């Protein structure tokens, strides 16, 4: 019985199966079209891939050819530059056009050494070797000439000529030497002016209005002179030497400032009888004796001068710190941690002025 039931169920589904078979037969032509389209699309994709690979290969070949062409052009340009620099520097030296000669040497120094080395291995190698030898000799000659001319201008006190040759040093790769020589010249000017100001102060009459502040004024003139030098020459330094090199200049100037400041402070201690008064103050503080107590009004003039000297020193150091910090921010220099933290030039003289002041104030 169960088998008969199953057979009847299957026979009942015969119509539905026949309908589905008929539908499949009708879909046959469409499936053949889809198969043909798929094969055609596959062929197009394969063709496109092959075409893209060929194009990519051609592009790589073009890039390689372009690179080799650029190298050839660069090589030809460098050979021409060598010849141009050699002819130019010889002509400039002959006519004493030192700036032009230095520009040719600078151009030669900036050439790609690897390209020059490759060029030396070619047919024109002997010509390139000759040009290189002439340029190297001209470079040495020009370095000596610029140094001698700068020294002569320094000795003559000819500022325009000093500045002229100062601007040439970096073109020859002599940045440090140029700054060192120029700093030495500026230090001479600072020392000369500081000596004049100190002598004027020592020769002043005690009845003059600012007689009690002579040494503070002398110190102020020293600081103002150095600040003026920095303001005047910083643009020249940045233009021709690049940013980040101001510290080298100020380091030299500050050494001279320390020497001149020491002279002023020594004369201040001597002329104002500072040491004796300081010892009296210490003695009074230690003994605490009312009979030997110093009248504060007697110390008022020296207190005022010490205070002013200390204030002007602090003001000057803040100016120097601000200039150097901004220069390092603009430039790409390697500053020591001491400079980055702002610990600039705390001189012995400043230490005296700042540390002795509280002793008097506490009287």
In whole angstroms, what is the distance from residue 89 CA to residue 170 CA?
Answer: 16
> Are residues 86 and 134 in contact, defined by beta-carbon separation less than 8 angstroms?
yes
**pLDDT of amino acid 14:** 74
**pLDDT of amino acid 189:** 95
**pLDDT of amino acid 359:** 45
Q: Domain ranges for the chain, please list them.
A: 74-144, 185-246+253-361
- From first to last of its 363 residues, the chain has per-residue pLDDT tens of 777 777 777 777 777 777 777 777 777 777 777 878 888 888 889 888 988 888 888 888 888 888 877 777 776 676 777 777 888 888 898 898 999 999 989 988 887 777 677 666 666 667 777 878 888 898 999 999 999 999 999 999 899 999 999 999 999 999 999 999 999 999 999 999 999 999 998 887 766 777 888 999 999 999 999 999 999 999 999 999 988 899 999 999 999 998 999 899 889 888 888 777 777 777 776 766 555 566 667 678 888 888 899 899 889 989 998 998 888 877 655 454 545 444 454 454 454 554 444 445 444
> How many beta carbons lie within 10 A of that of residue 56, not counting itself?
10
In whole angstroms, what is the distance from residue 288 CA to residue 281 CA?
Answer: 10
Helices (H), the chain: 2-12, 14-94, 98-109, 113-120, 125-156, 159-166, 175-202, 214-241, 246-271, 274-287, 296-330, 337-340, 348-361
In whole angstroms, what is the distance from residue 212 CA to residue 304 CA?
Answer: 8
**pLDDT of amino acid 69:** 78
């Amino acid at each position: 019985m169960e088998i008969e039931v199953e057979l009847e169920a299957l026979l009942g589904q015969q119509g539905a199966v026949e309908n589905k078979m008929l539908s499949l037969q009708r879909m046959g032509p469409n499936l053949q079209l889809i198969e043909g389209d798929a094969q055609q699309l596959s062929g197009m994709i394969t063709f496109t891939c092959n075409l893209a690979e060929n194009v990519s290969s051609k592009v790589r070949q073009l890039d390689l050819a372009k690179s080799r062409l650029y190298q050839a052009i660069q090589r030809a340009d460098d050979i021409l530059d060598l010849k141009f620099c050699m002819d130019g520097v010889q002509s400039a030296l002959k006519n004493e056009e030192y700036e032009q000669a230095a520009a040719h040497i600078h151009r030669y120094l900036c050439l790609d050494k690897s390209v020059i080395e490759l060029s030396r291995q070619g047919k024109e190698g002997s010509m390139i070797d000759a040009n290189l030898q002439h340029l190297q000799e001209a470079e040495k000659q020009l370095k000596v000439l610029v140094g001698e001319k700068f020294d002569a201008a320094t000795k003559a006190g000819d500022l325009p000529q000093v500045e002229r040759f100062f601007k040439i040093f970096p073109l020859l790769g002599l940045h440090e030497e140029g700054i060192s020589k120029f700093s030495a010249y500026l230090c001479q000017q600072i020392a000369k002016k500081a000596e004049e100001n100190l002598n004027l102060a020592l020769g002043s009459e005690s009845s003059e209005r600012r007689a009690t502040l002579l040494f503070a004024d002398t110190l102020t003139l020293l600081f103002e002179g150095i600040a003026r030098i920095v303001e005047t020459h910083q643009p020249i330094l940045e233009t021709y030497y690049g940013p980040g090199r101001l510290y080298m200049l100020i380091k030299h100037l500050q050494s001279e400032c320390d020497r001149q400041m020491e002279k002023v402070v020594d004369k201040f201690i001597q002329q104002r009888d500072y040491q004796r008064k300081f010892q009296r103050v210490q003695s009074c503080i230690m003994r605490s004796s009312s009979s030997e107590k110093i009248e504060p009004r007697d110390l008022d003039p020296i207190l005022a001068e010490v205070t002013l000297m200390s204030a002007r020193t602090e003001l000057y150091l803040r100016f120097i710190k601000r200039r150097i910090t901004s220069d390092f921010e603009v430039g790409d220099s390697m500053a020591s941690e001491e400079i980055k933290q702002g610990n600039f030039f705390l001189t012995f003289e400043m230490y005296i002025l700042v540390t002795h002041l509280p002793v008097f104030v506490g009287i």
